[in-house]
Structure 1
Amino acid sequence: PKPWNIAARGEESRARTLAYFKNVVDIAAELGADQVMVSSGWAFLNEPIEDAWARSASMLRSIAEYAGPRGVHLVLEALQPVESMIVNSAADTKRMIDAVGHPALKACLDMGAMAVAGDTIDDYFDLLGDDVAHVHFVDIAADGTTHLAWGDGDRDMRADLDGLVARGYCGVVSAETYDEQYFANPAAADAQVMAEYRRAIGA
């Protein structure tokens, strides 16, 4: 039902999805933004996962072919298994980028999906290298809750920041604080993340 399911099935749904993402790319280009976040989309539970994988790769290729000439990169984030069954890990991300085979498709290292998959920062950079173009820098609670503002979870975020620096990462880092506790006042969560970041770098 969502117009942004990249693994959508059926000609009408796929046409609507492609049109949606072309609009997003056009908006990004107009605003001077050089990245659009994408995921693999979602499979049907009663189909072989490789069928959904093939549809996802095909759609990502079509969007990348549209985005590339407009100076926009797509950044593909892995999702947690409860969110999607298609791309869940660093290895899945690498496999999908290779399958799409277009230079406009890059990778997003999502700290939450990374932790749930048992991956590390080094795993992402070892597999994807310079294709890592965006990081969702989020805290994670001991119970597995992700998308938390820095300080609201139990992860050593300073060590994660050091890990990115050690790998020479100079790309985008965003605070994806998507949890219901932040919905009423998202600006406070952003301010908390920035305060912790400035404290970590001594600013």
Structure 2
Amino acid sequence: MAKIANMNFHYHRYPFEYFLDSTVRLGLPAVELWGGAPHLYVDDASHADIVSMRREMERRNLELVCFTPEQCIYPINLSSKDDTLRKRSIEYFKKCIGVTNTLETSLLLVTVGYGFYNEPSEEAWARGRESLRILAEEAEKQGVVLALEPMSKAGSNLITDLATLKRMYDEVNSPALKALMDTVPMTLGGDSIEAYGEAFGQDLAHIHFLDGDGKTSAHLGWGMGVFPLEAFAESLKKIDYEGWLTLELIGPQYNWEPEAFTQRSIDRLSEVLGSIVAR
């Protein structure tokens, strides 16, 4: 049975409680929490706010499978050449590690950021690696696992495919650092689900499972792109992946009716994957 989690990114024009109630209506048992305004921006949230959100999820019997704080836009960049920005980014993620614990989940998504495009890439790589080592050490102390996600080349010039993800994973070499696969950068990078499974085995901790156009970083609902869902489903079986698949829909076209578009994805997934873990 496929384990599908809903995500709140495309619900950001609605209150957090609406997102949770929508997930219940959709029959999904789990959520991945995007940590951005207006739902949960870490630097604005008090401990009481975070506890309240956890209780709202518990009250609806929803499992939280991953905490994904906003990190892809200014001012967060673990590989920044600017010392102030990089140090602030490290402190931000340290705070996110604490929030992950307060939310009573164990998986925290992290991206390495990017370097200046006119500097030697190895310099930015070294900064990102050191930042991740600092965070992995803190995460290990607190019992949190960092799920390192590659980005498309539109978002980073460092970790953009399986080869660069595996290199960073190997160089950091921490039990607190595992891999996350997103079907969009996976496809754009010319990689495959089987290759990720072979590279990481049980350390493939989480998957963002989206349709796409095969040309841009668009994260589309299933049935709205060109990705081969049937082939993807077979690949998941081949690597014996038993974790969660998150629907990370991104785009203004989803903001007005996030529940309807999520339902369309669920319907398409059900046609191919068969039964989906439900409430």
Q: Which residue of 2 aligns with 1:6?
A: 78
Mapping for residues 1-203 of structure 1, pairs under 5 Å: 2-141=74-213, 143-144=215-216, 146-203=218-275
Q: Kindly indicate whether the alpha-carbon contact (under 8 Å) linking 1:141 and 1:155 is maintained by their aligned counterparts in 2.
A: yes
Q: How large is the RMSD of aligned CA atoms in angstroms?
A: 1.7
The whole-number CA distance in structure 2 between the counterparts of 1:188 and 1:106 is 33
Residues in 1 aligned to 2:266 and 2:74: alpha-carbon distance in whole angstroms:
32
Check the 8 A contact 2:194/2:238 in 1, yes or no.
no
Please state whether the residue corresponding to 1:107 is helix, strand or coil. strand
Q: How far 1:132 moved relative to its partner?
A: 0.8
Higher relative contact order (CA 8 A, sep 6+): 2
Alpha-carbon distance in structure 1 between the residues aligned to 2:128 and 2:155: 15
Contact 1:3–1:20 (CA under 8 A) maintained in structure 2: no
Of 176-185 and 40-49, more deviation after overlay is shown by 176-185
Identity of aligned residues (%): 34
User: Any conservation in 2 of the 1:4–1:21 contact (CA below 8 Å)?
Assistant: no
Tell me how many residue pairs correspond in the alignment. 203
Q: Aligned to 1:17, what secondary structure does the other structure show?
A: helix
Give 5+ residue unaligned stretches, structure 1.
none
Distance across 1 between alignment mates of 2:103 and 2:170: 29
Aligned partners of 2:187 and 2:214 also within 8 Å: no
Take 2:109 and 2:257, find their aligned partners in 1: how far apart are those partners?
A: 23
- With the length of structure 1 as denominator, give the TM-score of the two structures: 0.93
Contact residue 79 and residue 114 of structure 2 kept, 8 A: yes
In 2, distance between residues paired with 1:135 and 1:165?
14
Gaps of 5+ in 2: 1-72
- Post-superposition Cα deviations, 1:137-194, rounded to whole Å, max 9, x if no partner, equal 0102255453111111111213212211221111221111112211223222222222
Q: Deviations over 1:108-161 (max 9, x none)?
A: 111110111111111111222222111110102255453111111111213212
